[in-house]
Structure 1
Amino acid sequence: MARIAFKMTLHPGFEEEYRKRHDTIWPDLQALLKETGISDYSIFLDETTNSLFGVLKAEDPKALDNLPAQPVMQKWWAYMKDIMASNEDNSPVSIPLKEVFYLP
C-alpha cells in the first residue's frame, strides 16, 4: 500500500464551504475512490496560508491515473473550481509532496 501526499490551495474565505462540500461528498465519488483502491484519505487545512494538505493510501498508485477520465471526478472538479486553485480542465492545482519522515 502506497502513501501519497499532496498540497492544494483554497481561496481565502472559503474554508467553511470547502468543509461543507466534503462533509456531503457524493456517494458515487466516494464509491469511485474506494473502487480505485484509495483508503485512509484525509485533507488538512493550514489556516495561515490556505494550503490544503492531502494524504491517502492507494493499493496501486498507477490506478489513480485513471481518475481524471471518470465523469464523476470531472463533475466534482467543476463543482470545486470556484473555491480553490484549479487548472484549465478544472482539476485542482495539486503539488505532490516528497516523504521525508514516517513513523509507522
Structure 2
Amino acid sequence: MKRVGFLLKVRQELIEEYKEHHRSVWPEMLAALREAGWHNYSLFMHPDGTLFGYFETPESLEAATARMAETEVNARWQQMMSPYFEIPPGAQPDQVLIELEEVFHTD
C-alpha cells in the first residue's frame, strides 16, 4: 500500500463553508473513493487554509486520481469544490494536488 500526502490551499474567506461541505460528504462520493482505492483518507487544515491530505492506495496518486476521474460523482464534486481553492482558473482541485515525498514512517 502506498501512502500519499498532498497539499492544496483553500481560499481564506471560504474555509468555514469548505469545512461544512466535508461534514456531510455525499455517500456516493465516499463509495467512489473507496472503490477507486482511496483508503484511510484524511484532510487536515491550517488556519491559513493550507490543506494537507493523506490517504493510502494500492498504486499511486496518479492511478487513484485517474480512477476517480472516471466517475460521474467525482466530476460533480470537483466542479462544486473548485471555487474553494487557490488554483488556476478552470482547473479541478484533484488535478493540481501537490504530492509530498514521504521521508519517514513508523508502524
TM-score interval, normalised by the smaller of the two chains: 0.7 to 0.9
Structure 1 residues 84 and 55, CA gap change in structure 2 (3 angstroms): same
Q: Please name the residue that 1:97 is paired with.
A: 100
Q: RMSD of the TM alignment (CA)?
A: 1.6
CA distance in 1, matches of 2:44, 2:53: 6
**Which SS does the other structure have where 1:99 is aligned?**
coil
CA distance in 1, matches of 2:17, 2:23: 10
1:38 shift after superposition? 1.4
Given that residues 3 and 54 in structure 2 are in contact (C-alpha distance below 8 angstroms), is that contact kept between their aligned partners in structure 1? Answer: yes
Q: Structure 1 unaligned runs (5+)?
A: none
Deviation at 1:85, TM superposition (A): 2.4
Report the TM-score, using the length of structure 1 for normalisation. Answer: 0.87
How many pairs does the alignment contain? 103
Report sequence identity in percent: 29
- AA at the equivalent of 2:78: W
Q: Does 1:50 align with 2:53?
A: no
CA distance in structure 1 between the aligned counterparts of 2:54 and 2:24, rounded to whole angstroms? 19
Q: Choose 71-80 or 87-96, whichever is displaced more.
A: 87-96
Q: Which runs of 5+ in 2 are unaligned?
A: none
- In structure 1, what is the Cα distance between the partners aligned to 2:42 and 2:20? 15
**Deviates further, 77-86 or 58-67:** 58-67
Aligned residue type for 1:85:
E
Quick one: distance in 2 between partners of 1:77 and 1:54? 15
Deviation at 1:100, TM superposition (A): 1.3
